[in-house]
Amino acid sequence: MGAFIGLAFKNVFRQKKRSFTLGINYAVVAFILVLLLAFSKGATTNIATSLVRSTAGHITITGQFAKDGKIFNGLLKTGEIVAAVDKTFGGDARTLTRYAVQSMVYYNGLSKRLPFTGIQSDRDTGFRDQSTFSSGSWEDFASDPNGVAIPEDAAEYFGLTNGDEIVLSTRTRFGAFNTGILVVRGIYATDNFFSRGYVLAHYEFLRNLDLAAGDASTSVYVYFPSARGLDERRDLLMEELLLRGFDVSVPKTDSEAVSAVSAASTKYEEDKEGRDRVMLKLATLDEVLGIVRTVLAAVNAVGAFIAAIMLFVIAVSIFINLRMSINERLREIGTMRALGVESSMVTGLFVTESVALAVIFSASGAVLAALVATVIRFGPVFPAGGNLGLFLEGGRLVLIPSLLAIAGVTLTISLFAAFFSYFPAKRGGAIPPVDAFSRVY
Amino acid sequence: MNTIRRMMTAGLLALAVVPGGFAQSKTVSSNDPKALAIVKAFEDKLNVTDLDVTNTFTLVQKKAGEADRVIQIQIYRRDKADTFALVFKYPESEKGKGYYRSKDDLFLYLPSTREFVYRNRKDDVGSTDVRTDLFGKSDVTAQYWANLDGTAMVAKWETDVVKLDAKQLDVSFPVQKWYVRKTDGLPVKVENFSASGTLLRTTYYLDYKQVAPSKFIFTKLLATDALEKGQQTLLTNENISTARIPDYTFSKAFLEEQSR
CATH number at residue B37: 2.50.20.10
A288-294, Cβ contacts within 8 angstroms, sequence gap of 24 or more: A288/A51, A288/A56, A288/A60, A288/A254, A288/A257, A288/A258, A288/A261, A289/A44, A289/A47, A289/A48, A289/A51, A290/A254, A290/A257, A291/A254, A291/A255, A291/A257, A291/A258, A292/A43, A292/A44, A292/A47, A293/A44, A294/A254
- The domain boundary residue, chosen from A261, A286, A311: A286
pLDDT at A382: 77
Select the residue from A178, A183, A215, A265 to test the B interface by mutation, using most B Cβ atoms within 10 A.
A178
pLDDT of residue B22: 34
d(CA A426, CA B83): 87
Q: Chain B closest CA to A178's CA: distance in Å?
A: 5
Question: Is B166 part of the contact surface with chain A (CB cutoff 8 Å)?
Answer: yes
Tell whether A143 and A27 lie within a shared domain.
Answer: no
Residue A361 and residue A432 in one domain: yes
* Structural domain ending residue among the three candidates A232, A251, A286: A286
B18 touches chain A (CB under 8 A): no
Classify residue B249: in a domain, yes or no: yes
DSSP 8-state code for residue B131: B
List CB contacts (< 8 A) between A169 and chain B: 194, 198, 200, 227
Nearest to A193 by CA among A56, A399, A397, A393: A393
Alpha-carbon distance A286 to A404, whole Å?
22
pLDDT value at B2 more than 60: no
A227 and A306 inside one domain: no
- The Cα B52–Cα B63 span in angstroms is 34
Question: CB neighbours (10 Å) of residue A141?
Answer: 26
Nearest chain A residue (CA) to B229: A109
Give the domain extent around A388. Answer: 2-50+290-438
Given CB atoms, is B200 within the 8 Å cutoff of chain A?
Answer: yes
- Residue B172 and residue A176 in contact, taking contact as beta carbons nearer than 8 Å: yes
Please tell me the pTM assigned to this model: 0.73
The answer to whether the Cβ–Cβ distance between B227 and A104 falls below 8 Å is yes
Selecting from A176, A207, A269 the residue whose C-beta is nearest the C-beta of B172 gives A176
A333 and A352 together in one domain: yes
Domain hosting B54: range is: 27-258
Structural domains in chain B (count):
1
Residue bearing the bigger pLDDT, A393 or B55: B55
**Mean of the per-residue pLDDT values for chain B?**
83
Residue A67 is predicted with a pLDDT of 83
In chain A, which residues have their Cβ closer than 8 Å to the Cβ of B64? 109
**Contact residues for B54 (Cβ-Cβ < 8 A; gap 6+):** B74, B75, B76, B77, B239, B240, B241, B242, B243, B245
Going residue by residue through chain A, which has 441 residues, state the pLDDT in tens, using 9 for 90 and above: 677 777 777 777 777 888 888 899 899 989 998 998 898 888 888 888 887 777 888 999 998 888 888 888 889 999 999 999 999 998 889 999 999 998 999 998 888 999 999 999 888 888 888 888 999 999 999 999 999 999 999 999 999 999 999 999 998 887 889 999 999 999 998 878 888 888 999 999 999 999 888 899 999 999 999 888 899 999 999 999 999 999 999 888 777 776 666 654 445 566 777 788 888 888 888 787 776 777 777 877 887 788 788 788 888 888 888 888 888 888 888 888 888 888 888 888 889 988 999 999 999 999 999 999 999 888 888 776 666 677 777 778 889 999 999 999 999 999 989 999 998 888 888 888 878 777 654
- Asked whether the beta carbons of B90 and B71 are under 8 A apart, the reply is yes
CB–CB contact A177 B195 (8 Å): yes
Do A213 and B22 count as a contact with CB atoms less than 8 A apart? Answer: no
Nearest-CB residue to A174 (from B4, B119, B170): B170
Does the beta-carbon distance from B19 to A167 stay under 8 Å? Answer: no
d(CA B202, CA B217): 19
Nearest-neighbour CA in chain A from B242: distance (Å): 32
Whole-number Å distance between alpha carbons of B3 and B190? 20
Does A213 share its domain with A117? Answer: yes
Answer yes or no: is pLDDT of B174 > 60.
yes
- Alpha-carbon distance of A423 to A350, in angstroms, equals 10
Taking an 8 Å cut-off on Cβ atoms, the answer to whether A179 and B64 are in contact is no
**Among positive and negative, which fits the CA dihedral A120, A121, A123, A125?**
positive
3-class SS of residue A82: helix
Return the number of other C-beta atoms located less than 10 Å from residue B114's C-beta.
10
Residues of A in contact with B121 (CB under 8 A): 175
CA distance A275 to chain B (A): 18
The answer to whether A205 and B32 have CB atoms below 8 angstroms apart is: no
Distance CA A365, CA A26 (A): 7
Tell me the nearest-neighbour CA distance from B20 into chain A, angstroms: 5
- B-chain CB neighbours of A174 within 8 Å are 168-170
Asked if the model's pLDDT at residue B124 lies above 70, the reply is no
A214 to chain B: which residues are within 8 Å by CB?
A: 19-20
Tell whether A278 and A302 lie within a shared domain: no
Predicted confidence at residue A148, as pLDDT, reads 96
Overall residue count recorded for chain A in this entry? 441
Q: Are residues A297 and A389 in the same domain?
A: yes
| CB spacing of A171 vs B64 below 8 angstroms | no
d(CA A49, CA A40): 14
Report helix, strand or coil for B47.
Answer: coil
Both A195 and A296 in a single domain?
no
Nearest by CB: B169 against A106, A211, A267: A211
B198 lies within 8 A of chain A by CB? yes
Do B195 and A211 lie within an 8 Å CB cutoff?
yes
What is the spatial distance between Cα B209 and Cα A436, in angstroms, rounded to a whole number? 113
- Cβ distance B20 to A104 less than 8 Å, yes or no, reads no
A149 min Cα distance to partner chain B (Å): 19
Inter-chain CB proximity B227 and A175 less than 8 Å: no
- Looking at chain B, the number of H-run helices and the number of E-run strands are 5, 13
Between CA B245 and CA B241 the distance in angstroms is 10
Chain A residues lying within 8 Å of B20, measured CB to CB: 207-208, 211-214, 216
B122 and A CB contact within 8 Å: yes
Rounded Cα gap, residues A240 and A244, in angstroms: 6
Per-residue model confidence (pLDDT) at position B229: 82
Q: At what angle do helices A285-328 and A330-338 cross, to 10 degrees?
A: 80
A139, A274: one domain:
yes
Cβ contact, residue pair A179, B195, below 8 Å: yes
Residue B8 lies in a domain: no
Residue B10 located in a structural domain = no
Give the up-direction half-sphere exposure of residue B16: CA atoms within 13 A in the CB hemisphere: 10
Q: CA-to-CA distance for A350 and A361, rounded, in angstroms?
A: 17
Q: How far is CA A373 from CA A101, A161, A390, B94, in A?
A: 40, 40, 17, 51
Please tell me the distance in Å from B170's CA to the nearest CA on chain A. 5
Given this model, what pLDDT does residue B154 score?
Answer: 94
Question: Is A279 found in the same domain as A141?
Answer: yes
Residue B18 DSSP label? S
What distances in angstroms separate CA A63 from CA A219, A266, B120, one per listed residue?
8, 11, 20
Looking at the DSSP bridge assignments, the partners of residue A175 are none
pLDDT score, position B121: 60
Cis ω on the peptide bond leading into residue B91 (within 30° of 0)?
yes
Task: Give the count of Cβ contacts less than 8 A between chain A and B.
Answer: 96
Which helix (H) or strand (E) segment is B235 a member of?
A: strand B232-241
Give the amino acid at B154: V
CA of B184, closest CA in chain A: separation in Å? 31
Q: Which residues of B59-96 are buried (b: 16+ CB within 10 A; e: fewer)?
A: bbbebeeeeeeebbbbbbbbbeeebbbbbbbeeeebeb
The DSSP code sequence of A378-414 is HSPPPPTTSTTGGGEETTEE-----HHHHHHHHHHHH
CA A314 to CA A335: how far, in whole Å? 30
Test mutation, A70, A77, A183, A211, chain B, max B CBs within 10 A: A211
What is the domain count for chain A? 2
Q: Is the pLDDT of residue B20 over 60?
A: no
Q: What is the mean pLDDT of residues B171-189?
A: 94
Which residue, among B9, B15, B22, would best test binding to A if mutated, counting the most A CBs under 10 Å from its CB?
A: B15
B191 phi/psi in degrees, rounded to 5? -110, 130
CA distance B73 to A20: 76
CA neighbor of B145 nearest in space, from B26, B49, B44: B26
Alpha helices by DSSP H, A90-188: 126-129, 138-143, 152-158
Backbone angles phi and psi of B40, in degrees to 5: -60, -35
Residue in chain B nearest A206 by alpha carbon: B20
List, as ranges, residues 51-90 from B with C-beta within 8 Å of A.
64
Residues of chain A in contact with residue B174, where contact means CB-CB under 8 angstroms, are 176-178
